[in-house]
């Protein structure tokens, strides 16, 4: 027998489905009777338990230390320490308090441990039935090894990847891997091709999926991390090591430039002071002041608060944000890759069309609820259509094991989703399920088989006769039909009838409908046999396995071959998972905003393409690219073609991650939405991962940056709108803060160069940066979002947050505020003390900054064209700041804290007038610029014409 280590070497993704059962058993060194307990123990010891590995968890200390990686933070720490050493205790405490506050906020936001792989472990089976030593026993799933024989039955959670040996009406729900909720039929037959999409591997069962119906036996070919679920776990861990968000990268890049520029100026002025013979203590104080002037201390808090307020607004629009930077990332999104089932569509199979007695009918309503009706030529059906419709729905209800239940106001199906859709349609068309069950009790059932592609239920009619109701694939069903229901009776079927029905089937299939044919046949059996069947029915219960098996033995001839022939064809039923009503409008809104929407689904290509065309994602010429075709593409080829592909179908978790990375390689900012485990790696690898709150698995939610509570694509678009508004607010807030710092730095630098005493002390600069600038900046971050924000195209990933226009405005503002303060300082210094001159320079700079906050609300609109009371908080903050500034010049305690002297009220009003000069000049510049552009009112952000369309 093959040794255990050799078994462990089985490769992931091996084409087990294209090998015969005998070949697979030989390769894993097993038999249909299973392994011996001794051999299983050896393999378990050699290969380890059948468990998914958890990734390394980041400790709280690592998260806390991560808050101090920024160069800007270390400059602040150095400034605080130096201030403390030099005896400026108040300055040191204020600076270090900023550092601690920023670290606490950052730690709080990031202290969400990565639980994606831990959540995956919940999907694995705690117990499993295997054949050991020739007997079926139940063991912990972690003890399963390659070569074990799994015994599967309805309700089981599959514990490992396995190749089927036998199957009886076996159906598995593989939504965790494929994203499609419909149960897949399983059969042990060998598949011919090696390259078969995961969802089409009918002879394989996979870890984490569940058995919906039937029984089977399968040999385990992969365990733990070698399974398909294990591969997804590995992809999640790999995708988790992605780069930070665009905003984080832009702010970090900007911070480096700012810090090194500030250090360069400080070093230059320090050397200049040494050459002049300035005292070392004074030089240190000047250097600290310059460092404080250059660094916008309030920026980390402003950005955090702005994002946090965005989170609050988004929650009101049914979007829950788990990671703060994701708020802004949404605003710069250029591509949204979305799952189909449940996001763009309702997520529930719904019958849309009926065909019976030569007439076509439309069915309205969505999901499994009773809302809706049957229509003929756009109108509700009239009495003359009742009989043929009842004939068809009687078959739909008679050959049906599903039940509809209402939970929390929502209708759900218990049983097969397809049968649930047929049941809902039957009720809309006037059928009576209770009457069918009561008057025509079930006597026998022949379950669906993937080889026959038919299912049959035999019921006893009131006169004691038996009638078989049969549903299945239309082409197969037609071959077994000899007669046709016409609405007025039954007649023999002609070749012309068959061609007409097949043409109708094709027409419905081209509309992305899944088509089901319905037929019936009266059976001739002896009365004693019928009585025997009735006895079995009452003893076993309707539809139970005892009845089925007993009836099969007792009722001679009730086999599929004998029952499913000479049938009376009744009609066709077309069903699909319909698009959400609001999805089409949301996709159109994305297109208007320059955002590309791409569908990525595990569904079949023709269905995916039809839905994509219906809601506007794909044009008439677009076709879906299947996962098999993706496997043939190199990464380089995919990078080139990805921008031209609108629909991907029959894809796996690995395919989805490749698509995301291909878009990112093309400088796109990518959002990925989904609900299944198979979506989790791509969600983790995208710039912004979005999980569905209702249908989403715990794995997907833990991997996501944002959770949509109503599973609606339109909510994602609303969140993008919020994100764009937040970015615009952060940009104008950043400009307001940096322009103030520029003015302070210019004032300090000019005075040092020409040999004047330092015009502002560190406490003055901290007061301006935190109170005078910081509080209005927080109010600017909460400005109402521009209603035209979704009419602009998104920013490029490479676009700098500080472009030329930004820097020009920042430089002009700094020159104006610094110039006014320098003029006041120089004037007062000639006739007064240094302390008085500093007080006046400090006051005029504060007044200029506060007044300028009103103009900073827009980069293009003059202050008189911005409604004043749309930001009441800003008015309140400016008023309080004015009051504190004036009070500091007339209150001894506050004056000592701020190191200012007293000032007459008349001088306060004079300085207020001088402080208005920068605001007036900047607003006049806006008017001139607007006139040059030929428009009185332009959007705050320029349209990016190169965004993907």
13: left (phi over 0), alpha (psi -120 to 50) or beta: left
What pLDDT shows up at residue 72? 63
176: CB partners within 8 A, 6+ apart: 123, 208, 209, 229, 676, 677, 678, 697
Please answer whether residues 337 and 660 qualify as being in contact, where contact means their C-beta atoms are separated by less than 8 angstroms: yes
**124 backbone dihedrals φ, ψ, rounded to 5°:** -85, 155
What pLDDT shows up at residue 898? 78
Calpha distance 205→210 (Å, rounded) = 9
Higher confidence at residue 343 or residue 85?
343
Residue 580, CA distances (Å) to 334, 342, 412, 671, 889 in order: 23, 9, 17, 20, 64
* Residue 786 is a catalytic residue: no
Count the helices and strands in the chain (H runs, E runs): 36, 28
The pLDDT tens digits for 72-121 are 677 677 767 766 776 667 667 766 776 787 677 556 645 543 343 344 44
**pLDDT bracket for residue 599 (50, 70, 90):** very high
Report the range of poorest mean pLDDT among 264-273, 481-490, 796-805: 796-805
Asked if pLDDT for residue 937 goes beyond 50, the answer is no
Calpha distance 684→242 (Å, rounded) = 8
Listed residue (823, 767, 766, 814) closest to 292, CA to CA: 766
The pLDDT tens digits for 209-259 are 888 778 899 999 999 888 888 887 777 766 655 455 556 666 667 767 777
**Cut 0.75: pTM above it:** no
The pLDDT tens digits for 854-870 are 999 888 888 888 888 88
Which segments within 620-665 are labelled E, that is strand?
Answer: 625-626, 647-649
The pLDDT tens digits for 549-575 are 333 333 456 788 889 999 999 999 999
**pLDDT bracket for residue 204 (50, 70, 90):** very high
Asked if pLDDT for residue 936 goes beyond 60, the answer is no
**pLDDT bracket for residue 493 (50, 70, 90):** very high
Please answer whether residues 144 and 230 qualify as being in contact, where contact means their C-beta atoms are separated by less than 8 angstroms: no
Coarse DSSP helix, strand, coil percentages of the chain, rounded to the nearest 5 percent: 50, 15, 30
**419 backbone dihedrals φ, ψ, rounded to 5°:** -65, -30
Calpha distance 895→674 (Å, rounded) = 59
Higher confidence at residue 722 or residue 121?
722
Selected catalytic residue, list 148, 339, 675, 773: 339
Asked if pLDDT for residue 353 goes beyond 90, the answer is yes
Report the range of poorest mean pLDDT among 251-255, 294-298, 890-894: 294-298
Please answer whether residues 743 and 749 qualify as being in contact, where contact means their C-beta atoms are separated by less than 8 angstroms: no
Average pLDDT, the chain: 80
């Amino acid at each position: 027998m093959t040794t255990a280590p050799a078994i462990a070497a089985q490769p992931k993704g091996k084409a087990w489905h294209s090998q015969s059962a005998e070949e697979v058993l030989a390769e894993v060194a097993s038999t249909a009777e299973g392994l011996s307990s001794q051999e299983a123990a050896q393999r378990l010891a050699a290969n380890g338990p059948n468990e998914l590995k958890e990734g390394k968890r980041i400790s709280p200390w690592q998260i806390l230390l991560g808050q101090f990686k920024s160069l800007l933070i270390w400059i602040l720490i150095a400034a605080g320490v130096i201030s403390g050493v030099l005896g400026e205790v108040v300055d040191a405490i204020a600076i270090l308090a900023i550092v601690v506050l920023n670290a606490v906020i950052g730690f709080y936001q990031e202290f969400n441990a990565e639980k994606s792989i831990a959540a995956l472990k919940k999907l694995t089976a705690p117990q499993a039935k295997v054949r050991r030593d020739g007997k079926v026993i139940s063991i912990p799933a972690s003890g399963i090894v390659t070569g074990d024989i799994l015994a599967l039955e309805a309700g089981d959670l599959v514990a490992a990847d396995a190749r089927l040996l036998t199957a009886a009406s076996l159906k598995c729900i593989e939504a965790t891997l494929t994203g499609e909720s419909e149960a897949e039929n399983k059969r042990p037959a060998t598949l011919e091709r090696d390259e078969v999409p995961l969802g089409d591997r009918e002879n394989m069962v996979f870890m984490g999926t569940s058995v919906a119906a039937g029984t089977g036996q399968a040999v385990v070919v992969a365990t733990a991390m070698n399974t398909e679920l294990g591969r997804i776990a590995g992809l999640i861990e790999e995708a988790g090591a992605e780069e930070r968000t665009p905003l984080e990268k832009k702010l970090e890049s900007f911070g480096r430039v700012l810090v090194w520029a500030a250090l360069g100026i400080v070093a230059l002025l320090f050397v200049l002071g040494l050459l002049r013979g300035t005292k070392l203590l004074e030089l240190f104080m000047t250097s600290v002041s310059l460092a404080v002037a250059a660094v916008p201390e309030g920026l980390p808090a402003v950005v955090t608060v702005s994002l946090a307020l965005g989170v609050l607004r988004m929650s009101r629009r049914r979007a829950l944000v788990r990671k703060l930077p994701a708020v802004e990332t949404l605003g710069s999104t250029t591509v949204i890759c979305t799952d189909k089932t449940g996001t763009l569509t309702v997520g529930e199979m719904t019958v849309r069309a009926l065909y019976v007695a030569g007439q076509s009918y439309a069915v309205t309503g969505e999901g499994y609820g009773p809302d809706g009706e049957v229509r003929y030529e756009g109108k509700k059906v009239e009495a003359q259509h009742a009989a043929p419709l009842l004939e068809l729905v009687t078959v739909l209800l008679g050959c049906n094991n599903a039940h509809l239940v209402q939970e929390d106001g929502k209708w759900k199906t218990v049983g097969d989703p397809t049968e649930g859709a047929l049941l809902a349609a039957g009720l809309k068309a006037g059928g009576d399920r209770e009457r069918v069950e009561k008057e025509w009790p079930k006597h026998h059932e022949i379950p669906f088989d993937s080889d026959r592609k038919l299912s049959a239920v035999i019921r006893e009619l009131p006169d004691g006769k038996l009638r078989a109701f049969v549903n299945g694939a239309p082409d197969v069903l037609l071959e077994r039909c000899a007669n046709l229901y016409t609405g007025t009776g039954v007649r023999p079927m002609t070749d012309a009838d068959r061609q007409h029905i097949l043409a109708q089937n094709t027409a419905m299939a081209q509309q992305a409908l899944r088509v089901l044919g319905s037929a019936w046949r009266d059976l001739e059996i002896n009365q004693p046999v019928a009585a025997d069947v009735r006895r079995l029915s009452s003893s076993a219960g309707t539809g139970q396995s005892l009845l089925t098996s007993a009836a099969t033995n007792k009722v001679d001839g009730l086999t599929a071959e004998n029952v499913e022939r000479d049938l009376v064809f009744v009609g066709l039923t077309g069903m699909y998972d319909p698009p959400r009503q609001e999805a089409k409008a949301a996709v159109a809104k994305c297109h208007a905003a320059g955002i590309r929407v791409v569908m990525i689904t595990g569904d079949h290509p023709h269905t995916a393409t039809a839905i994509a065309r219906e809601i506007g994602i794909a044009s008439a010429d677009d076709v879906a690219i299947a996962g098999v075709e993706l496997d043939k593409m190199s990464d380089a080829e995919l990078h080139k073609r990805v921008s031209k592909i609108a629909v991907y179908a029959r894809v796996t978790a690995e395919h989805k991650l490749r698509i995301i990375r291909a878009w990112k390689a093309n400088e796109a900012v990518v959002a990925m939405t989904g609900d299944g485990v198979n979506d989790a790696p791509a969600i983790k690898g995208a710039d912004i991962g979005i999980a569905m709150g209702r249908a989403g698995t715990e794995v997907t939610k833990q991997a996501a940056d944002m959770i949509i509570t109503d599973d609606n694509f339109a909510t994602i678009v609303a969140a993008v709108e919020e994100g764009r508004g937040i970015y615009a607010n952060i940009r104008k807030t950043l400009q307001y803060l940096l322009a103030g710092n520029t003015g302070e730095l210019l004032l300090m630098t000019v005075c040092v160069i020409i040999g004047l005493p330092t015009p502002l002390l560190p406490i003055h600069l901290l007061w301006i940066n935190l109170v005078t600038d910081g509080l209005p900046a927080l109010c600017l971050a909460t400005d109402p979002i521009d209603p035209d924000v979704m009419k602009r195209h998104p920013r490029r990933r490479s676009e700098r947050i500080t472009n030329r226009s930004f820097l020009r405005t920042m430089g002009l503002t700094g020159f104006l505020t610094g110039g006014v303060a320098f003029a006041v300082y120089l004037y007062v210094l000639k006739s007064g003390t240094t302390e008085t001159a500093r007080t006046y320079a400090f006051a005029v700079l504060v007044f200029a900054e506060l007044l300028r906050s009103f103009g900073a609300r827009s980069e293009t609109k003059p202050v008189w064209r911005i409604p004043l009371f749309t930001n009441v908080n800003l008015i309140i903050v400016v008023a309080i700041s004015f009051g504190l500034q004036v009070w500091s010049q007339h209150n001894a305690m506050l004056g000592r804290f701020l190191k200012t002297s007293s000032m007459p009220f008349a001088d306060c009003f004079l300085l207020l007038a001088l402080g208005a000069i920068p605001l007036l000049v900047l607003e006049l510049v806006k008017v001139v610029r607007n006139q040059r552009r030929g428009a009185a009112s332009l959007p705050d952000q320029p349209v990016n014409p190169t965004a993907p369309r």
